[in-house]
């Protein structure tokens, strides 16, 4: 099974590889998450900006390091990874018309400017 591990890459260099408008959006989200959590961003895998550090276990992997909150650029927008599987998160997402899966919130550009993103992150931090 493939694992996503933290890499020793410069976050700003990674962000600067995108077009200017995406850089601005990425930096806006990085700043918001950093301010709410006080965690420094790091690169996980090839393309995830992660914040915080937890130890994750499942039936396949034991004691795998992982991020608390992650942000990834996708072809259609961004994916926000939140590790608190809380029904309240999904209620917030519905309130702001943010699509989601289990622990993943699929953001379009207009979504990153919504108050709901801040609420999702704050709700995640309560767990």
Check residues 16 and 9 and name the one with the higher pLDDT: 16
pLDDT in tens, 32-89: 999 999 999 999 988 999 998 887 776 666 777 778 999 999 988 999 999 767 889 9
What is residue 40's DSSP assignment?
Answer: P
Residue 66 lies in a domain: yes
Look at the pTM and tell me if it is higher than 0.75: yes
Residue 1 lies in a domain: no
Q: Would you state the structure tokens that stand for residue 95, as one six-digit string?
A: 């309130």
Residue 108 lies in a domain: yes
If phi > 0 it is left, if psi is from -120 to 50 it is alpha, else beta; for residue 113 that is: alpha
How many domains, the chain?
1
pLDDT in tens, 10-28: 999 999 999 999 999 999 9
- Tell me the CA end-to-end span of the chain in Å, nearest whole number: 27
Residue 29 lies in a domain: yes
Residue 22 lies in a domain: yes
Residue 49 lies in a domain: yes
| CATH code of the domain in which 11 resides | 3.90.1150
pLDDT in tens, 99-113: 998 889 999 888 888
Range of the domain at 42: 6-125
Residue 77 lies in a domain: yes
Residue 59's pLDDT is 67
């Amino acid at each position: 099974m493939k694992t996503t591990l933290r890499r020793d890459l410069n976050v700003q260099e990674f962000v600067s590889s995108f077009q200017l408008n995406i850089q601005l959006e990425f930096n806006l989200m990085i700043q918001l998450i950093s301010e709410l959590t006080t965690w420094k961003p790091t690169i996980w895998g090839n393309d995830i900006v992660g914040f915080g550090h937890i130890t994750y276990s499942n039936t396949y992997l034991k004691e795998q390091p992982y991020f608390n909150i992650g942000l990834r650029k996708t072809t259609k927008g961004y994916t926000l990874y939140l590790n608190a599987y809380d029904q309240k998160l999904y209620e917030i997402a519905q309130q702001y018309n943010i699509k989601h899966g289990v622990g993943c919130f699929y953001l379009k550009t207009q979504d990153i400017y919504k108050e709901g993103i801040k609420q999702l992150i704050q709700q995640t931090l309560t767990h």
